[in-house]
Structures are given as C-alpha cells and as structure tokens.
Amino acid sequence: MTSIPAATTHNQRHAVIFDCDGTLADSEPLARAAWESVLGNYGHRITDADAETVVGLDYPRVHHYYAQRFAGLPDHLTLWPQLREMMLDLIDKSLLPFDDAVSCARELAAAGVPIAVASSSPRVRLDATLEKLGLTGLFPITTAGDEVAHGKPAPDIFLKTAAALGVPATSCVVVEDSPSGIRAGHAAGMPVIAVHRADTLPPPTFDLAEIAVDALHISQFEQMLALPAHRPRSAHVEELTHD
C-alpha cells in the first residue's frame, strides 16, 4: 500500500471529506433521470444547461431553480415524495460506484486517515447510496444536505463534518466534482481536489480547486495531506433563496 504522510503536527492536513454524488457514486445521471420523470408529469422538460446548473445543490435549491423555470410546480414538500421514490428506485436498480474514489477512500481508511462524507443529498438518499455501494461501514461520519441550514455552496456542511470528525476545518481536504461543492470547500478554508467526471462541467470551471484531475489516485492525497493548514476561511458565499 502507498505510504501516506503521518499527521504528526498541527500544521498538516490529515483528514479527507468526500462528496458523494458524482464523486463516490455515479449518481448524477440518475438524479437527472428522476427529475426528468417527475417534471415530465407536469409537462416540463429540462435541458443540459438546467442539469448542469443544479449539479451539487441540495434538494430545496434544485426545486427552487425548477420552480422559477416552470410555472405551476408544486411546492418542495409536496413534490419531494414523488422525487424520493423515483430516486430510490433508480439507486436500487442502476447505481454504480466510481472505483477510483472508492479505492482511495479505502486506502486512506486503512492508513488511519480520518475520512467522512458530506453530501448535498437528503439523508434518505445518502444512506441508500452508501448502502447500495457497500460503503456504509467505511465512513464513520456522514453529513447530509438536510442536516445543515445552508447547503453548498455555503461552507456549513464541511464545517459540520470537520467538527464531527473532531478536527479543525483547516486540517481537512475536500474531494468534489461540482462547482458548488468546490466553492463550499474553499469557503470552509479547505483545499479541494476537483475530480472531473465525463458528465460534469469541464476543468476550467474548477478555478478554486488546488488540484483538478480526471481520476483520483492516492498520490494526489499524499500531496494534499502535506499542505500547510494556514489558509483562512473565506467570507460566507451568497445564498440562493429557498422556497
């Protein structure tokens, strides 16, 4: 196994927080399919631009976006049961992991590096995803999008996850695939490894990430875990209005 630098001093990064959808799990196409199906029931069709805009956002923000786009959409509480059932069915039938990310997470855990998941997905979807992929026992700490007041791109979810890990926020490295997630990690003062999946926005959009890669490898974490933890947290990012 690749050697990983030990966290022997307070000025080294020594914990890793993974995003889930699009990072650990190839679930973004499933989320789009679920939204397409549910919105289709109301006579609406989404575009590639729509799908790209909502990648990485929590459910209330995604609903807010579509409610602004399409007149007559039910409120987010009314629509949620329909979307939840469609999403859980697709997860059960079709979800696949990103093996590069899962392999890195397993190697980090085996080396004693604290790891966690911070996902914009509601708890029910996050748990179903990790269970389907056999990852429930790998991450001792998981935080869902409906467990923080402000979702990505606000830093709340990463700050909450760092606190649950029992480490300073500045000791964490974030792994993300979406611009909103990268912005959230940056706002929390955490360096970000941005992984560019085939169905996400191109690397030039990852201007706030320290590293942008096409696939994850343990050597990237070795590099990031050796970074000095001195970058201050940035000002709170702007919020989208909730329904």
- By annotation, the residues acting in catalysis are 19
Question: What one-character-per-residue DSSP string does 27-73 give?
Answer: -HHHHHHHHHHHHHTTT----HHHHHHHTT--HHHHHHHHHHHSTTP
Sign (positive or negative) of CA dihedral 137, 15, 25, 34? positive
Angstrom distance (rounded) from CA 192 to CA 91: 27
What is residue 16's three-state secondary structure? strand
Expressed in angstroms, the distance from the first to the final Cα of the chain is: 48
Q: How many CB atoms lie within 10 A of CB 145?
A: 25
Angstrom distance (rounded) from CA 124 to CA 87: 10
Q: In what order do the strands lie in the sheet with 115-118?
A: 141-143, 115-118, 15-18, 172-176, 192-195, 211-213
Q: How many CA atoms lie within 13 A of 163 on its CB side?
A: 9
CA dihedral 186→187→190→191, nearest 10 degrees, is 10
